[in-house]
């Protein structure tokens, strides 16, 4: 057990290290010169001034040296200072991460409840009009990109009806829920079809297994069969899919944040990329990768608990 | 010395050029343009309602005075401030906020004139000496008294190498305290623009104790401010909001509005927040934002003088190297068409490279001079203009290669680029448009290598001082902004002389002469002036509507329309 834990942890660290280098190099490879931004006004951009700025921010050193410096600082919990804001990167990220996290969690609750619910409904009522309706509606929902959904939702429920606020993330629990409902819904819509489809298929597969047929033959009530035998056995793929979708959302909130005027890490990242604010872009990307690894690792860890067969295979 | 700071927010279209703004607009993912064009309200293409008539836009410096008190106003910025230390980061979002908190030695008035302010009085015993008397009875927000030593400390900080305003002090030979409330500044040569710089960020008076105590963190969220203005910084929640509150012991007139809460949003989110009443007002940095809100019933719009302009900036490469071709282009450009279809009529065809907001003195003279330039830069070209332009091209010989027009994909710039191509084609010059992403576009301004492939840039520009002389040094033969390599010793002499002429009347005369030479040579080709647009809830009134909102405590004049 302990060995497995250590091995897994080592794997996570190795992945993070590799990811950090890729991120660092990718941000540097992006076209454009951060020194132009750092040097300030258009009129001040003499070649001497640019050289001076490059030296000051160590931008003139080889990539490996810069990466080493950055990694060393990161290991000392120093993410550096933003080029754009003179603030500490850690402060900037800490101030914006909660908004994005709340948004993703809210969207996750929505797509899990609605998506899994719709999938179960479709599986149970398989080959009826309910099944077709679920498949049709979720397909339609998934084909609407989140920024289009955002526009439609904000213009109807925000501007026309005035039911929901159109900008900001709100204060207090109820305020946050009120502010984040439309953004979370825009974000969740795309995931609905995927999750409901996976749920439906996993349920159908599970329902086709022998022990379900046996249970049915021995007169176990249908409701019991669905709950204890079908759904339980189908949970593995469902949880995996939900986990993956959620992890993906951590990196995909920017469009929704822009449409709803939310200051989250998505908009922080895009701003940082556009202004060549390397320290911020690197930190946010690293955070997103870490988030992804943490969520997928957690899903992996939960798997054996849901389905003992997985554990047997692994050990 | 007197160039603009980076145009912090270019007045063109949703996908802005300036990197700071580009940040959000771009979301790269075509979000900006799609959002803006969609049903969410930021309807920049349809430009809600009848467009304004560009030629008839009335520019007023202020809104009607406020009558009543207000507990709180919600204000929108197009971006979160980078920093509240303008010596280190001079973005316009930070300036819009900080101008209510911090005071300067001189003050830019809503009508764009400049007056002594924290420097109560100013004397010039000779052309190279400026003696300032520091105002008595002013306290910083921590209660400590503002002294001449504090002023000197602040000036030295602004002048320090690497600070944003250090270039304003290039002419200064010494700054000393010469009395209990008196400072003496000596110059290497007379400097006509120095007091104007003191009305800008170079004149901010900091509380040295606060600045020193905060160290590197000064100006970041969670730090107190270090100023003496009508408002003090109450709270800045990074990524969320920034609140300022009236300062109880303020030495001057107390503001009617107790608290102003700033939030930030871009494009459609900004438009929607104003439309639904979630925010009370904003200074719209893009005319298209104002255009999208023209129909909104609960809002009023005010347009004021600004120094900003839309310009074509030719490079020394290709066909526009020849001044005759540049003049021909200027003659055949449909400026009114650009204003109407690209900007909803909210910019004005203009014949000078800086807007009317630059006329901080001798206004009638500058207005007359601008009008005279109209012959070379018509709002709509007449048959005679076109004939003249064709003749110029014929004499000079049409260039072999097509003229490459550099632009980004924002709506306004796209229209300007297309109008430029149309104008060139009409006079027998082939042209093509090169569209690049906003971040790359901004590099055209700064990096000669980046603009290697273009012949003319669809640009925008503004100057931070209300003096056109702050612009014309861009045409000096050694200026890095003189891309066409314009060389005219008489012009250089005129500009240097004007910069050293303290007398306003004489300087205005020299300036209009330099301006005539600059426009004659078509170093840059003026297209339109871009007024400041203030969008305000119809319950509120009071703040200035001119570009002074960047340097004047506008919130202190904000209040309820009815008492």
Model pLDDT, residue A309: 65
Contact A47/B at CB under 8 A: no
Cα gap A68→B502, rounded to integer Å: 55
Reading the block at residue A28, the tokens are 């540097």
Residue identified by tokens 């690049």 is: B436
Contact A70, A61 (CB under 8 A): no
- Cβ of B269 within 8 Å of Cβ of A167? The answer is yes
Yes or no, beta carbons of A261 and B266 under 8 Å apart:
yes
Q: What pLDDT sits at residue A311? A: 58
How many angstroms separate the CA of residue B218 from the nearest CA in chain A?
A: 9
Phi first, then psi, for residue A160 (nearest 5°) are: -70, -55
Note whether B5 contacts A268, CB cutoff 8 Å.
no
Does A255 touch chain B if contact means CB atoms closer than 8 Å?
Answer: yes
DSSP helix/strand/coil, B314: strand
Facing A259 at nearest CB: one of B83, B269, B438 = B269
d(CA A220, CA A227): 11
**Cβ contact, residue pair A167, B442, below 8 Å:** no
Q: Where would I find the H helices in chain A?
A: 2-29, 34-38, 47-56, 63-75, 89-111, 117-124, 129-143, 146-153, 172-207, 210-217, 222-224, 232-250, 254-259, 265-274, 278-306, 308-314
Contact B40 A167 (CB under 8 A): no
Q: Which of B250, B249, B286 is nearest to B268 (CA)?
A: B286
B518-521: long-range pairs with CB below 8 Å, 24+? B518/B353, B518/B472, B518/B475, B518/B486, B518/B491, B519/B351, B519/B352, B519/B353, B519/B373, B519/B376, B519/B377, B520/B327, B520/B376, B521/B323, B521/B326, B521/B475, B521/B486, B521/B488
Hey, CA dihedral for A301, A305, A309, A315, is it positive or negative? positive
Q: Which residue of B has its CA nearest to A100?
A: B239
CA dihedral of B247, B253, B256, B262, whole degrees rounded to 10: -50
Best mutation target, B48, B239, B450, to test chain A (most A CBs within 10 A): B239
Do A92 and B238 make contact, defined as CB atoms within 8 angstroms? yes
Find the CB nearest B220 among A87, A151, A165: A87
- Of the candidates B322, B324, B308, B372, the residue with the CA atom closest to the CA atom of residue B528: B308
Inform me whether the pLDDT recorded for A234 exceeds 90. Answer: no
Q: Nearest CA to A197 among A257, A156, A237?
A: A237
- pLDDT for res A169: 76
Q: Do A159 and B40 touch (CB under 8 A)?
A: yes
Length of chain B: 563
> Which of B4, B272, B313 to mutate: most A Cβ within 10 Å?
B272
Residue A30 φ/ψ, nearest 5 degrees: -60, 140
Are B269 and A258 inside 8 Å of each other by CB? yes
Model confidence at A269: pLDDT above 50: yes
Name beta bridge partners: A58: none
Q: Check B19 against A37: CB less than 8 A apart.
A: yes
Cβ–Cβ gap A274/B438 under 8 Å: yes
CA B189 to chain centre: 27
Structure tokens at B550: 């960047």
The answer, for A90 touching chain B at a CB cutoff of 8 Å, is no
Q: What is the pLDDT of residue B34?
A: 33
Residue B143 Rama label (left phi>0; alpha psi -120 to 50; beta): left
Partners of residue B40 in chain A, C-beta under 8 Å:
150-151, 154-155, 159, 259
Using an 8 Å Cβ cutoff, are A178 and A165 in contact? Answer: yes
Q: What is the rounded distance in angstroms from the CA atom of residue B97 to the CA atom of residue B287?
A: 21
Q: Is A154 on the interface with B (CB under 8 A)?
A: yes
**Is A36 close to B443, i.e. CB distance below 8 A?**
yes
Residue B428 Cα, gap to closest chain A Cα (Å): 34
Nearest-Cα distance to chain B for A64, in Å, is: 26
For residue A261, give the chain B residue with the closest CA: B265
Q: Enumerate helices (H) and strands (E) in chain B, giving the number of each.
A: 17, 21
In this prediction, residue B406 carries a pLDDT of: 94
Residue among A71, A40, A35 at smallest CA distance from A55: A35
Alpha-carbon distance of B69 to B560, in angstroms, equals 6
Residues of chain A positioned with their CB less than 8 A from the CB of B267: 258
Contact B101, B244 (CB under 8 A): yes
3-state secondary structure B179-224: ECCEEEEEECCCCCCHHHHHCCHHHECCCHHHHHHHHHHCCCCCCC
Q: With CB atoms and an 8 Å threshold, state whether A36 touches B268.
A: no
Contact list in B for residue A275 (CB cut-off 8 A) is 19-20, 22-23, 439
Contact A258 B447 (CB under 8 A): no
d(CA B82, nearest CA chain A) in Å: 4
A278 pLDDT higher than 50: yes
Take residue B82 and report the two structure tokens written for it: 């980078």
pLDDT at A267: 87
Helix (H) or strand (E) holding B268: helix B267-275
Q: Which two tokens stand for residue A57?
A: 């921010």
Q: Report in angstroms the alpha-carbon separations of B201 from B34, B86, B119, B158, B328.
A: 37, 7, 14, 8, 39
Average pLDDT of A208-213?
80
Q: Find the CB nearest B23 among A99, A261, A271.
A: A271
CA angle B45, B50, B55 (to 5 degrees): 100
Chain-chain contact of A275 with B39 (C-beta, under 8 angstroms): no
Gap from B441 CA to chain A (nearest CA, Å):
10
Q: B163 to chain A, minimum CA–CA distance in Å?
A: 10
| pTM: predicted TM-score of the whole model, two decimal places | 0.86
CB B421 within 8 A of CB B458: no
Task: Name the DSSP letter for residue A315.
Answer: -
Is the CB of residue A53 less than 8 Å away from at least one CB of chain B? no
Q: Report whether B106 contacts B203 (CB < 8 A).
A: yes
Q: Kindly report the backbone phi and psi dihedral angles of residue A79, in degrees, each rounded to the nearest multiple of 5, phi listed first.
A: -90, 0
Chain B contacts in chain A segment 103-132 (CB below 8 A): none
Chain A, residues 209-228, CB within 8 A of chain B, namely none
ipTM rounded to 2 decimals: 0.81
Please give the span between the terminal C-alpha atoms of chain A, in angstroms, as a whole number: 10
pLDDT of residue B467: 94
User: Average pLDDT, whole number, for chain A?
Assistant: 83
Q: Which of B20, B23, B216 sits opposite A270 (nearest CB)?
A: B23
**Quick one: DSSP state of residue B253?**
P
For residue A162, the chain B residue with the least C-alpha distance is B276
Three-class HEC string of B102-163: CCECEEECCCCCEEECCEEEEECCCCCEEEEEECCCCECCCCCECCHHHHHHHHHHHHCCCC
**Matching residue, tokens 């430009």:** B47
Per-residue pLDDT of chain B (563 residues; tens, 9 = 90+): 444 444 433 333 333 333 333 332 333 323 333 333 333 333 333 334 456 676 677 889 999 999 999 999 999 998 899 899 999 887 889 999 999 999 999 999 999 999 999 999 999 999 999 999 999 999 999 999 999 999 999 999 999 988 889 889 999 999 999 999 999 999 999 999 999 999 999 999 999 999 999 998 999 998 999 999 999 999 999 888 999 999 999 999 999 999 999 999 887 888 889 988 889 999 998 888 888 888 888 999 999 999 999 999 999 888 899 999 999 999 999 999 999 999 988 999 999 999 999 999 999 999 999 999 999 999 999 999 999 999 999 998 888 899 999 999 888 999 999 999 999 999 999 999 999 987 788 888 877 888 888 999 999 999 989 999 999 999 999 888 899 999 999 999 999 999 999 999 999 999 999 999 999 999 999 999 999 999 999 999 999 999 999 999 999 999 999 87
Contact B29 A255 (CB under 8 A): yes
**Residues of chain B found within 8 Å of residue A147, distances taken between Cβ atoms:** 29, 31, 34-35
A vs B, Cβ pairs < 8 A, gives 190
CB B277 within 8 A of CB B74: no
Q: Cα(A292)–Cα(A109) distance, rounded to whole angstroms?
A: 17
SS3 annotation, B50-104: CCCCHHHCCCCCECCCCCECEEEEEEEECCCCCCCCCCCCCCHHHHHHHCCCCCE
Residue closest to B170 by CA, chosen among B135, B125, B202, B133: B202
Nearest chain B CA: its distance from A56 CA (Å) = 11
Q: Is the separation of the CB atoms in A34 and A83 below 8 Å?
A: yes
* Cα gap B337→B292, rounded to integer Å: 19
In order of A80, A85, B92, B166, B490, the CA distances from A271 in angstroms are 17, 11, 16, 27, 45
Q: How far is CA A109 from CA A249, A255, B403, in A?
A: 13, 20, 56
3-state class of A280 per DSSP?
helix
């Amino acid at each position: 057990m302990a060995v497995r834990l250590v091995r897994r942890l080592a794997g996570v660290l190795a992945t993070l290290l590799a990811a950090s280098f890729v991120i660092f190099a990718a941000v540097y490879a992006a076209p454009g010169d951060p020194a132009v931004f750092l040097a300030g006004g258009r009129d001040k951009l003499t070649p001497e001034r640019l050289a001076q700025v490059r030296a000051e921010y160590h931008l003139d050193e080889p990539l490996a040296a810069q990466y080493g410096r950055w990694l060393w600082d990161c290991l000392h919990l120093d993410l550096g200072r933003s080029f754009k804001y003179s603030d500490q990167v850690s402060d900037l990220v800490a101030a914006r991460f909660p908004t994005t996290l709340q948004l993703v969690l809210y969207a996750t609750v929505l797509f899990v409840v609605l998506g899994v619910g719709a999938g179960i409904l479709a599986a149970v009522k398989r080959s009826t009009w309910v099944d077709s309706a679920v498949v049709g509606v979720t397909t339609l929902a998934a084909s609407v990109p989140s920024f289009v959904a955002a526009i439609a939702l904000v213009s109807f429920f925000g501007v026309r009806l005035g039911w929901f606020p159109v900008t900001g993330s709100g204060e207090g629990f109820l305020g946050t829920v009120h502010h984040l409902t439309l953004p979370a819904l825009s974000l969740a819509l795309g995931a609905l079809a995927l999750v409901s489809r996976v749920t439906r298929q996993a349920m159908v597969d599970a329902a086709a297994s022998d022990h379900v047929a046996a249970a049915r033959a021995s007169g176990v009530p249908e409701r019991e069969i669905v709950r204890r035998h079908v759904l339980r056995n189908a949970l593995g793929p469902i949880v995996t899919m939900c986990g993956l979708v959620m992890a993906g959302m951590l990196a995909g909130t920017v469009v929704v944040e822009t449409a709803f005027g939310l200051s989250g890490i998505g908009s922080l990242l895009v701003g940082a990329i556009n202004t060549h604010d390397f320290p911020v872009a690197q930190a946010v990307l690293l955070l997103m990768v870490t988030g992804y690894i943490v969520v997928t690792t957690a899903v992996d860890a939960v798997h054996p608990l849901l389905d003992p067969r997985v554990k047997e295979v692994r050990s | 010395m007197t160039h603009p700071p980076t145009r912090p927010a270019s007045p063109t279209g949703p996908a802005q050029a300036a990197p700071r703004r580009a940040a959000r607009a771009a979301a790269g993912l075509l979000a900006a343009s799609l959002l803006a064009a969609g049903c969410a309200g930021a309807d920049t293409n349809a430009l809600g309602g009848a467009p304004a008539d560009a030629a008839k836009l009335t520019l007023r410096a202020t809104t009607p005075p406020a009558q009543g008190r207000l507990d709180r106003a919600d204000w929108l910025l197009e971006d979160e401030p980078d920093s509240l230390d303008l010596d280190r980061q001079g973005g316009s979002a930070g300036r819009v906020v900080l101008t209510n908190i911090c005071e300067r030695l001189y003050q830019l008035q809503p009508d764009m004139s400049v007056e002594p302010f924290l420097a109560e009085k100013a004397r010039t015993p000779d052309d190279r000496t400026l003696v300032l008397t520091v105002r008595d009875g002013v306290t910083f927000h921590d209660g400590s008294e503002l002294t001449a030593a504090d002023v000197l400390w602040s000036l030295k900080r602004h002048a320090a190498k690497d600070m944003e305003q250090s270039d304003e002090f290039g002419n200064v030979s010494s700054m000393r305290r010469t009395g209990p409330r008196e400072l003496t500044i000596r110059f290497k040569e007379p400097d006509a623009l120095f007091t104007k710089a003191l009305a800008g960020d170079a004149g901010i008076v900091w509380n040295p104790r606060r600045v020193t105590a905060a160290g590197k963190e000064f100006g970041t969220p969670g730090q107190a401010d270090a100023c003496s203005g009508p408002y003090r910084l109450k709270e800045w929640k990074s990524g969320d909001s920034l609140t300022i509150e009236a300062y109880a012991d303020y030495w001057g007139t107390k503001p009617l509005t107790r608290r102003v809460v700033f939030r930030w949003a871009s494009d459609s989110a900004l438009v929607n927040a104003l439309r639904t009443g979630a925010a009370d007002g904003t200074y719209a940095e893009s005319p298209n934002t104002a255009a999208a809100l023209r129909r909104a019933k609960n809002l009023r719009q005010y347009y004021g003088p600004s120094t900003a302009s839309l310009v074509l900036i030719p490079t020394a490469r290709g066909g526009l190297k020849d001044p005759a071709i540049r003049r021909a282009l200027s003659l055949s450009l449909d400026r009114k068409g650009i204003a109407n279809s690209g900007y909803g009529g909210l910019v004005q065809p203009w014949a000078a490279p800086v807007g009317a907001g630059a006329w901080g003195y001798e206004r009638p003279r500058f207005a007359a001079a601008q009008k005279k330039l109209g012959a070379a830069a018509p709002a709509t070209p007449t048959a005679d203009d076109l004939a003249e332009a064709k003749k110029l091209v014929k004499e000079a010989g049409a260039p072999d290669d097509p003229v490459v027009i550099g632009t980004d994909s924002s709506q306004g710039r796209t229209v300007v680029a297309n109008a430029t191509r149309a104008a060139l084609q009409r006079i027998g010059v082939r042209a093509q448009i090169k569209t690049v992403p906003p971040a790359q576009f901004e590099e055209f301004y700064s990096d000669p290598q980046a603009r290697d492939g273009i012949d003319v840039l669809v640009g925008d520009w503004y100057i931070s001082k209300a003096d056109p002389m702050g612009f014309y040094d861009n045409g000096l033969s050694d200026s890095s902004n003189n891309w066409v390599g314009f060389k005219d010793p008489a012009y250089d002499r005129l500009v240097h002389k004007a910069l050293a002429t303290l007398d306003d009347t004489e300087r205005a005369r020299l300036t209009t002469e330099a301006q005539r030479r600059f426009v004659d040579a078509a170093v840059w080709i003026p297209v339109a002036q871009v007024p400041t647009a203030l969008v305000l809830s119809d319950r509120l009134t009071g703040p200035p509507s001119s570009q002074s909102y960047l340097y004047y405590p506008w919130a202190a004049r904000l209040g309820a329309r009815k008492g």
